[in-house]
Amino acid sequence: MFTFAAMKSAFAEIDAACQAFVQQEQIPGLAGGIVQDGKLVHVITLGLADVEVVRRVEAGTAFRIASMTKNMTCLALLALRDRGLLRLDAPLSDYVPQFASVAPATRDSGPVTLRHLMTHTAGFVTDDPWGDRLLGMTPAELDALIARGTLFARPPGVAFEYSNLGYALLGRVLTNVSGEPYQAFIRRTFLEPLGMTRTTFDAIAAQRDDFAFGYRLDEGTWSRERIEPDGEVGAMGGLVTTVPDYGRWVAFLLGAWPARDDPEQGPARRATVREMALWHAPTFLPEATDGREPAPTAYSYGLMRSVDAKLGWRLHHSGGLPGYGSHVLMLPDRGWGVFAFANKTYPQVARLTLSVAEMLHDAAPKPAPAKPSAALMRAVEAVVAAYAAGRVAGIGSVLAGNFLLDMPARFRDAELTALKKRLGDGNLEGVEPIHALAGRFTVVCARGRLRGTITLSPDAEPGIQKLVLTAEDA
């Protein structure tokens, strides 16, 4: 948790970075927010929502967030799955009957499933420029595309390839299974329960209120992009929202961590939200992040998951439409979320949110270390005692049944004796849990450090099933 002084200093630095980004990227207007521990704690507003009349961006200005809609689409599908109304590995044709007449990519291809569509592995071609102009597609036009389109670039289940069409079809699934239009289902399931009263799919109606018009810059001249109307394929990227509203969505998602015994309170189960963060389709695409090393990345369900040395694991997704660019980044283990919306065609807003997350990381105190479980602590203390004695005979009660079968006691004793001779006497310095049944520990010794990794068994009384010890000389 930040102190007030640290927050004030960090937010001033973040505001300056956002201003520099807007100037560097020549963006008319930008709005953003920072969520911490379930609350929107900071709002950024810069520049113009309407260049022609010089109307400034305010906290309540609505922006299109494009493909940041996709994680809401996925959570809606998972919610229906939880109710037993659909199966993720069922063929798409079970829920969109028109798809049964689509010829497969090859004669030996398996059927396209909902999971393929959710993870962009259905075999469709990447279609951002084409799809971005089709939000207003009618049901009849989508039917015609299913019937006559050249849908497959490759067989399903072979590789990741980002597809807006796939999410358009998921919107049809939600409509058919729920019995109401996709947009109405999303409104009833998420927007209304979370109080997201300014969030809509109808950009034409939204422009009658405080709305950020989208712009492009050509040879120094600003021009408005066409506003794409709401239509049959809004599930791929149709949302219009504000900073306060989207802050509620981010807070809801982050509220799924950590797993706990508290009663459920949100519009979807916490376990279901956490399921959205699993890696499904490796992408390993380099991010446009100011020369940083590309982070290992995979697509989950409407979110991407990356891992880097500084921030650890993070969830994120960008959005882009003619006239708009946006990005959300969440650090579930820290309870932080950062997001920003811009009203220029395809700016790399991911560069900004990642920089802001790093600023928060640098300004925040280190999180308190996790406490080891009683079983893990008991096992570590037993290993430290065995190291001191030079033999494992005295710790049999904490060993799993396989331990001495995998390495008989005489070899374990020889290992402990050699380590003790090399490093000398020692005292336990600390234990770092990996989870309740595994962890790492360090023993500070007279001539170096003993480092160990323990994995416990899933027995009623967990015992040590695996132990790895390494020596570091002083």
Model confidence band, residue 296 (pLDDT cutoffs 50, 70, 90): confident
- Which residue from 87, 29, 8 is spatially nearest to 343, judged by alpha carbons? 29
Check if the beta carbon of residue 341 is closer than 8 Å to that of residue 32: yes
At 50-109, the pLDDT tens digits run 999 999 999 999 999 999 999 999 999 999 999 999 999 999 999 999 999 999 999 999
Radius of gyration of the chain (CA): 26
**Protein fold of 374-473:** Nuclear Transport Factor 2; Chain: A, (3.10.450)
pLDDT value for 1:
57
Q: How far apart are CA 358 and CA 34, in angstroms?
A: 13
* Predicted TM-score of the model (pTM): 0.91
Domain 374-473 in the same topology as domain 1-366: no
What span, in angstroms and rounded, lies between the C-alpha atoms of 353 and 290? 12
Mind listing the pLDDT tens digit for each residue in 159-197? Answer: 999 999 999 999 999 999 999 999 999 999 999 999 999
pLDDT value at residue 5: 66
Q: Is the link from the previous residue into 258 a cis peptide, with omega within 30 of 0?
A: yes
CA 288 remoteness from chain centre? 17
Helical ranges in 207-322 per DSSP H: 243-254, 270-275
Q: Output the CATH code of domain 1-366.
A: 3.40.710.10
**Cβ of 224: how many Cβ atoms within 10 Å?**
15
Instruction: Enumerate helices (H) and strands (E) in the chain, giving the number of each.
Output: 14, 17
Q: Given the structure tokens 């203390």, which residue do they identify?
A: 381
Residue 157's pLDDT is: 95
Give the pLDDT score at 293: 74
The confidence score (pLDDT) of residue 428 equals 97
- Higher model confidence: residue 58 or residue 285? 58
Measured between alpha carbons, how far is 352 from 213 in angstroms, rounded to an integer? 21
What is the pLDDT, as a whole number, of residue 289? 53
| Whole-number Cα distances in Å, 387 to 271, 390, 414 | 41, 5, 11
SS3 378: helix
Give the pLDDT score at 3. 65
- Arithmetic mean of pLDDT, 252-262: 97
Rounded CA-CA distance 285/271 in Å is 28
Domain borders along the chain are 1-366, 374-473
Confidence of residue 291 (pLDDT cuts 50, 70, 90): low
Share of the chain above pLDDT 90, in %: 90
| Residue 369 pLDDT grade (very low, low, confident, very high; cuts 50, 70, 90) | confident
Question: 3-class SS at 319?
Answer: strand
List, for residues 345-356, the tens digit of each pLDDT value: 999 999 999 999
Nearest to 383 by CA among 439, 313, 434: 439
The pLDDT of residue 426 is above 70: yes
The whole-angstrom separation of Cα 158 and Cα 152 is 12
* Dihedral, 241, 334, 5, 31 alpha carbons, nearest 10: -20
Q: Which two tokens stand for residue 76?
A: 């809606």
